[in-house]
Amino acid sequence: MLARRKHVYFAMMGGCIALFVLAWGVVRLWSIPAAVAMCVVAMVIPPVAAIVANRRGPEDRWWDDPSGDPKSDEWWDELDGKKRRP
């Protein structure tokens, strides 16, 4: 899943750069309002790309990974009902 999110992120950012370059390198020669509109669209892409890249999927189990502190992990396991208290 991480690799797919990275590919989507880089594709979106590549599209953003392409929009900027095409807007001011080619489209502005025919229509400045169209070039500005393309830049506005390109301006929205980076935050959306960051959200897509940092999104967690249902198979990403980050909340129940061990912390490394045995006492803390034991306490959380007890709260979650994974281990019974002796």
Instruction: Name the residue with tokens 């392409």.
Output: 18
pLDDT per position as a tens digit, 8-19: 999 999 999 999
Closest to 50 in 3D by CA, of 10, 14, 20: 10
Q: Where do the structural domains in the chain lie, given as residue ranges?
A: 2-57
Other Cβ atoms less than 10 A from the Cβ of 62: the count is 6
Confirm if 9 and 52 have CB atoms less than 8 A apart.
yes
Per-run averaged pLDDT (10 residues), the chain, 86 residues: 84 95 94 95 95 77 70 79 63
Other Cβ atoms less than 10 A from the Cβ of 41: the count is 14
Global pTM reads 0.63
Instruction: Name the residue with tokens 């990275």.
Output: 6
Confirm if 34 and 42 have CB atoms less than 8 A apart.
no
